[in-house]
Amino acid sequence: MERECYAEGFCFVAGVDEVGRGPLAGPVVAAAVVFPRGVLLPKVNDSKQLSESRREELNEAIGAINGVQIGIGEVDATTIDRVNILNATHMAMRLAVEKLDKADFILVDGRPVRNLPLPSRAVVKGDAKSASIAAASIVAKVYRDRLMVELDALYPQYGFASHKGYGTAEHLDALRKFGATLIHRKSFRPVREVIDPPPAQLGLF
């Protein structure tokens, strides 16, 4: 995909991907990565296909490339509740791109994103077709996982270090027992029902 963009006259192609749409707690995070042309790239792949240790190795390798550009955008749970998760994800992507020093085209994973600051192309399953999108998925995942480990120290009873905010049985049990924290997404139904449980259904007979 990058080579196609170079053939069209673009020089600094950013791959953009996000992580954290589905969790019940924590931010949604996007990363943007621009690789210099002609460098030897690490064997990146969709972050979901990689072990945690391999993601950490590749994250280090990506950051060590001379001339690589990396931008990270983060949108917190309060903003997610205010603008909804789709808009918050697009906001994180824009923030990530705006932190790049130099870019002239964007390859974004998945569906089109409105109001990006540069020309862009949406690529379905882009992390399998674009090295920079795959790298962005790794950078975003490692960044968010590390953040959730830090948040686990603030809220140790919820298990954020293990499930990273996703709705596991452990997390749902902790929600019911301890209630929602400041980093929970209160517009997401499992959290909303803990805060304001639905009325009990009356029997028909």
- Going residue by residue through the chain, which has 205 residues, state the pLDDT in tens, using 9 for 90 and above: 999 999 999 999 999 999 999 999 999 999 999 999 988 888 776 667 788 899 999 999 999 999 999 999 999 999 999 999 999 999 999 999 999 999 999 999 999 998 899 999 999 999 889 999 999 999 999 999 999 999 999 999 999 999 999 999 999 999 999 999 999 999 999 999 988 766 554 444 4
pLDDT at position 195 is: 82
Q: Return the pLDDT at 202.
A: 47
Instruction: Report helix, strand or coil for 40.
Output: coil
Written in H, E and C, the secondary structure of 57-116 is HHHHHHHHCCCCEEEEEEECHHHHHHHCHHHHHHHHHHHHHHCCCCCCEEEEECCCCCCC
- Cβ neighbors of 125 (< 8 A, separation 6 or more) are 109
pLDDT at 35: 96
The span from the CA of 138 to the CA of 143, in Å, is: 8
Give the CATH fold of the 2-147 domain: Nucleotidyltransferase; domain 5 (3.30.420)
Position 143 scores a pLDDT of 98
pLDDT of residue 46: 63
CB 24 within 8 A of CB 149: no
> 33 forms bridges with which residues in the sheet?
15, 70
What are the residues facing 37 on neighbouring strands?
none
Go through the chain and tell me how many residues it has: 205
How much is the pTM?
0.91
CA distance 77 to 88: 9
* 102: Cβ contacts below 8 Å, ≥ 6 apart: 12, 34, 69
Count of beta carbons in the 10 Å neighbourhood of residue 83:
15
CA quadruple 96, 137, 133, 37: dihedral sign: positive
Structure tokens at 123: 């690529």
State CA 116 to chain mean position distance: 16
